[in-house]
Structure 1
Amino acid sequence: MKAAYIEQTGSYEKIKVGDLPIPEVKSSEVLLKVDYVSVNHIDTFVRAGGFKTNMQYPFVIGRDAVGTIQKIGDEVTEFRVGDRVWTNSMGYDGRSGITSEFVAVPTNRLFKAPDVDERQLIASVHSSATAQILLSDILKVKSNKNILIEGAAGHVGTKLLQISKLLGLNVTTTSNQRDFDRLKKLGSNELIDYHQEISGIDELFDYIVDTSGKVDLNDNLNLLNLYGQIGMITAPKSNQFKFDVREFYTSSKSIKGFVISHASLEQLRGAGRALNYGFENNQLLDDSILELPLEKASEAHRMLEEGLDHGKRIVLKVN
């Protein structure tokens, strides 16, 4: 089978595209014929060796794929040959990646795909799962509370907005004014120009998520209500900060960091069910997509690393 793989970590130039054996299917796995894979920043970190994880060489790159089941293991009962499915937790922690014509996937990391555009689905999964787990499992948000999403026009920002609305939150967003109409259609209750100083906002929030890494952490801490929480999915640009410790702890505020590669299987499965509910209702499927062939896997990594994706989600067509 044709696959994109590496034989050692390093530059995107280390990615090779060639023939590898079709994987054997264990009793609790299925053999997936891959249609599309998404290319995410975490894929570049794993390939470069910046995200340390167990891998066996040749290592097939990538973590998120959608396709059709070709074969099932002896113990598989919940899936059938011909089912359209997706997965989003391969390609690290000892598991092979998915940028190949065929891949063996454990059934506990597999979800049936609703009848929606496959490219839109797999382009959405990484950002949507990040947003779902952050809100539901890390922050444990409650309905009718107020959330501020900074940099809401980006991939994760739009998913945070949509899922926040599904969870019953009142949402305020910051973005460029040109994105106001789009974010309003997605459910933002209040829109703020990101050029405005955050410290000048009068409202207080129960939850704040900065997707941009451009907002001073202390400014956000000052915008939190009693028991308020900051969900951190990127570090502030300076990577350093000072804050009023007494006011922080006497107001019972908290900062909770999250990266999806450390999500538990239980969290991933809960997110998968929630995402499928959104997909079935034509939600979370709003990304602009750049489609490239499998042979362009190295180019896709280069584009992400050099910021040449122009705000689009990169998807590789495999079959």
Structure 2
Amino acid sequence: MRYIRDHWQGKHALIYALLINLVGLRALLLFADRYTLPPFIADRTDALMATILFIILGHGVVFVWQVVGVLCATGQQTSSLSGIWTVVAYGAIALCLAFTALSIATSFRALAPERFIVVSPTALEDARARQYTLSLSPDGKRIHIAGIFTLGMTQKLTALVDQTPTVTGVVLHSEGGHIYEGRGVAYLIRDRKLNTYVFDTCKSACTTAFIGGAKRHLGPNAQLGFHQYKLELQTPFPQYDLKGEQEKEIKFYRQQGISEDFLAQVFLAPSSGIWFPSTEDLVRSGVVDEVVGGE
């Protein structure tokens, strides 16, 4: 309480009142106002009430206390530079007021009914699941995977395999996707000793899943596509080691009996391109065990 009173009465040094009590505290409050908005408060009514309360206290009561203390400290300046310090103080107050007004406006825009989107806890998982399908063949012996390898696929595929003990193989048709999921599906297929089949196209992460098969079958017109990995991010992520991830894939391919000549070429194609080895090369290198007539 004494600290609050001392600032209110202008007893703190002006430089301290400016940097700590005004600028520093204002920056902290402007940073904290995000915690009254989604996703921290999911319900719009609750977020609106929290925002209003925060504005009254943080941008109202506290801001008045900050400004009064700085003005009082300014009035007590007796040095030859007091005029300059007065200008600096008023400038700092004006900037803080501008940023505070902008923050308030941004908060209310985020809470406008037409912009407020309530995110279901399962919305992201549902969106990912819509990017692929897992279906069982009529005889219950094969699971068909079609679409993009997204997070959660391995878990759902595991559940389906557990529920269907008659499954002996997996049919793949995919343009690729998340490398972790491609590897996860490959390990599941390998551990359950399932066979793999491709009758259309299987690229990138899908090829890893295919190579996990105990016996690997390719249709006469099917294609397996390989290329370097890439990050689907707008900004660099230095902690993500793409070459290291590719080395993990090469190690797995080697364990699955793929020839060294093939491993030397598997990641030569750039991420913007694709390498489709011929069926003869795939059979010769051990990637494909048998070419079959059709589904």
Name the TM-score class by shorter chain. Answer: under 0.3
Which one has the largest radius of gyration? 2
Tell me: higher relative CO, structure 1 or 2? Use CA pairs within 8 A at least 6 residues apart: 1
**Structure 2 length as normaliser, TM-score?**
0.24
Give the number of the structure whose residues are more often strand, by fraction.
1
Structure number with the higher helix fraction is: 2
Length-normalised TM-score, structure 1:
0.23
